[in-house]
Chains A and B, each alone.
Chain A
């Protein structure tokens, strides 16, 4: 049933949306092939959820066009709704109903008969490890369980395209990995996944293509490897207790010294061999750093590289506006 004619799952051109004079989306173009995972990466307030809401027919755009699985979101919203599943950023389960009742509710709304509905609910409870909790009201679930139920509800109607809006924000590392595995399984079934996230690592793990959204426009697009090439690599950060040690270390190792924080940033991937070599060179000069840490590029570095500003500064700037 998940046979796709190879084609486009989402096509959007020039999407615009403003609230009052606050421009939230400023001309967003998207082109997502069916059967792939696409990730929209961006910091708080970038406009990720707004894109998801427009594509899932929840709100209208002020300008531009978008089609989902061949149907225009503005004029053929019913057809779009019939083909998609949405797991929003905030939990969309009915807290007063039990896990099973939530799934039955979805099954009935997808107009499955009573027996089919029961079977589908049981199947999904099993698959999402919710069998034991099935009889408890969803309000009593942990964050991870609620996310799983949320996603299970999205899948009841076997959608061909699903939207996952920050599916792992607030989850512990184990639940996050579970969620990743579930996403991979979906892709293996041929479902197209539209994923938003604030974590480069998540996009890296899951996505075929990544678009970086900043201030309502897409500032870069490509595969994870392509994006990472544009980001400065990882580095080792050394902290010292006094300025002379910092100066001698900078002389020996090079790198970027911060005389206020008494830290030195040395490019390097943090592998054991290179660390040993680095420490060896400090040792021969009898320089003892107070602290050593290995930093891998995070979303902030991607941002700095792609937009020339840090996302945090940016939020501050927005707040002042």
Chain B
């Protein structure tokens, strides 16, 4: 392992032991922690955080599922158990700001935790990346992505659920990628099929899978890259592209991954 692959990922427990309280907590999420594809996104994001000198911490083994899939599967009980346990941990560390690369975690912590006693400023990683640029801590170099045809798939829980459409698009534009919009985009974007706990079950009978339909729409925009900002969307669209045998022509990447490659971090 080369040096630059060494990530600095302090846990809240370590930081607290040193008497430190970081500026922001990076909520990694279950997909980002365990899913092989999503772990790459997590690493990419941390590389950017490290290079921009962001003072952050993670919960590590103290992090637990936000409860989103349980809640949306109808298990309010399990959701609230998870939520209250997490809130206890977050409050014990006196967390004020949370950033996450998962729109589901983002939505749950931002919108559903406050009424259970968890009040934090929660931002999506694309928003933090934009902040870093605005503060001059991160400069985007288009690199190999300059002029590349990039379409952005809006994750439901970032877009419609929380009205965030521009942060990821601005990042693509600043890398001088050619931003292509699918026919249905932003608030009209079609779901990838993973939300509402669908990720964890077989689909009901129908004509096709939701991810196939959405992948077709993405392909119709004729991109080199399908960018997204959600580990679940990433999985679904990657599957769709594989199914169409297009994995050599079209890459499905998270915005953070694109930045890492472009900036050669």
Is A bound to B? no
